[in-house]
Amino acid sequence: MSGVRVLVGTRKGAFILSADGKREKWDVSGPHFAGWEIYHLKGSPVDSNRLYASQSSGWFGQLMQRSSDGGKTWEPVGNKFVYDGVPGTHQWYDGTPHPWEFKRVWHLEPSVTDPETVYAGVEDAAIFRTSDGGQTWQELPGLRGHGSGPRWQPGAGGMCLHTILIDPSDPGRMYIAISAAGAFRTDDAGKTWRPINRGLRSEHIPDPTAEVGHCVHRIAMHRSRPGVLFMQKHWDVMRSNDAGESWQEVSGNLPTDFGFAIDVHAHEPETIYVVPIKSDSEHYPLEGKLRVYRSRTGGNEWEPLTKGLPQKDCYVNVLRDAMAVDALDSCGVYFGTTGGQVYVSSDAGDNWAPIVRDLPAVVSVEVQTLP
Amino acid sequence: MIRIILPQHLRALAHVGAELKLDVEGRPTLCSVLDALEARYPMLRGTIRDQVTHARRPFVRFFACEEDLSHEPPNALLPDAVASGAEPFWVVGAIAGG
């Protein structure tokens, strides 16, 4: 019987939650790398036993881990991330130039064809690639070399490259997003990049429609329609029908359009999910009610999903990498909170239940659908 | 033979116990001890000092013989008691944050 493996990164270690296709009884494994911040774990889409994890701490820096047995055992791999050439400067919070400094890996995106190839999105923002299973990492310098780098600036969480989407029909095309620079696209496997932020409007920057400077929180895509993108910006939920050439707002009837996470149903490319958060300074749900909002129309028309979720006194956050979907026939939706809960819905959001309630603050959630 | 005591998280990473022992050629310095440590346990590269500049990570400190050696230059000789193995060389994670 098929099953799922949920990979959870937290502020104090990684956890692996496993269940069969019913998704009712869960086995909890962890903490792995206890005491370390695990910003992200992700499995290879072509080898479900091959996992990669980003492990870091303020004391001991960045480590990278690799598993070849589905997370039962791990081995440290290369952790040397050196910017290509002279790193240059970006804007600091006060607008002054600040040298590029590597801090940590936020997001890992394994190749859709090769388990040894992985892309890493890092802070300060850049994209690296390994083609030897994580032993060595090389920057794809065309992104920072685009020319707009000196105008990028950090969001509140740091200047992080947090989203990497690979077009499954054309691996040469990738999208990335940086807080706070915006979204970028490459059509030549990472050699050259260009900003794709036309249509975004950010009132908190000097030029609200600038080419770069937007605080994009997350982008999602359905693999059957890789040219259609959904974005949770700092404020605003956006949509692009033309691979990011232009964006339209689809916040519609959301009670607040601030948030971090966004994802797409595994089988319905127009069904999308967000978790509205009150504001940029109040990082918790409105009215203490934890509600996932679902749109079955690709945006604009949203319905709250509340069954099984706390509807009073709930003041957790759901971070940008902390939502995922499985690919079982009845699509499972998962998200983790800064309060340490990981929730699952095995019916596309209609009903929710906690898998675990008391983990450290959850930073990331990924799901593998196993044969 | 040099005795080294690592912080708990680095012991777990390197799969070593409370104290490890290393042979270091010549009169040991901060740099030669860390070189030998990273050669024997490559998973520690980057966790104590920067892999390119070799600058000590900000929240890591070095102690021996009740002295703070954190700000000594890389080629500074370690105390005789460390060189002889009578006293251990401590790598310490600073007490900061949670």
Nearest residue to A184 (alpha-carbon basis) of A205, A165, A207, A204: A165
Report the alpha-carbon distance of residue B83 to residue B64 in Å, rounded: 11
Sheet strands (E) in A138-228? 138-139, 160-166, 174-179, 182-186, 194-195, 216-221
How large is the ipTM? 0.94
Is 70 exceeded by the pLDDT of residue A11?
A: yes
Q: What is the pLDDT of residue A38?
A: 98
Catalogue all structural domains in chain B, each as residue range(s) with its CATH number.
2-93 (3.10.20.30)
Catalogue all structural domains in chain A, each as residue range(s) with its CATH number.
3-370 (2.130.10.10)
Collapse the DSSP code of B4 into the 3-class scheme (helix H, G, I; strand E, B; otherwise coil) and give the result. Answer: strand
Interface of B with A (CB under 8 A): 7, 9-10, 12-13, 43, 45-48, 51-52, 57, 59-60, 93-94, 96-97
Q: Which two tokens stand for residue B29?
A: 């310095």
A67, A74 contact by CB (below 8 A) = yes
Q: Which two tokens stand for residue A364?
A: 């990331």
Q: What is the pLDDT of residue A1?
A: 57
Mean pLDDT of the region A183-210: 95
List beta partners, residue A16.
A7, A29
- Are B9 and A35 an interchain contact pair (Cβ–Cβ within 8 Å)? yes
Q: What is the pLDDT of residue A115?
A: 98
Question: How far is CA B55 from each of CA A153, A343, A352, B31, B35, rounded to the nearest angstrom?
Answer: 26, 43, 49, 10, 13
Can you spell out the DSSP letters for A301-335? Answer: S-EEE-TTS--SS------TB-EEE--SSS--EEE
- For B63-98, what is each residue's pLDDT tens digit? 999 999 999 999 999 999 999 999 999 999 988 655
Report the alpha-carbon distance of residue A328 to residue A75 in Å, rounded: 30
Side-chain half-sphere CA neighbours of A25 within 13 A: 1
Of all residues in chain A, the percent with pLDDT exceeding 70 is: 100
Mutate which: B15, B49, B59, vs A, most A CBs within 10 A = B59
- For A110-148, what is each residue's pLDDT tens digit? 999 999 999 999 999 999 999 999 999 999 999 998 889
Of all residues in chain B, the percent with pLDDT exceeding 70 is: 97
Residue A97: pLDDT band by 50, 70, 90 thresholds? very high
- Output helix, strand, coil percentages for chain A, rounded to the nearest 5: 0, 40, 55
Tell whether omega for the bond before B14 is within 30 degrees of 0, i.e. cis.
no
Q: Is A61 on the interface with B (CB under 8 A)?
A: yes
Q: What is the pLDDT of residue A156?
A: 85
Mean pLDDT of the region A165-183: 95
For residue A197, count other CB atoms closer than 10 A to its CB.
26
Residue A167: pLDDT band by 50, 70, 90 thresholds? very high
- For A33-57, what is each residue's pLDDT tens digit? 999 999 999 999 999 999 999 999 9
- For A56-84, what is each residue's pLDDT tens digit? 999 999 999 999 999 999 999 999 999 99
Report the alpha-carbon distance of residue A236 to residue A272 in Å, rounded: 14
Nearest residue, CB atoms, B57 vs list A34, A36, A59: A59
Is 70 exceeded by the pLDDT of residue A257?
A: yes
List beta partners, residue A324.
A334
- For A334-353, what is each residue's pLDDT tens digit? 999 999 999 999 999 999 99
Contacts of B59 in chain A (CB under 8 A): 58-59
Q: What is the pTM of this model?
A: 0.96
A284, A278 contact by CB (below 8 A) = yes
Q: Is A198 on the interface with B (CB under 8 A)?
A: no
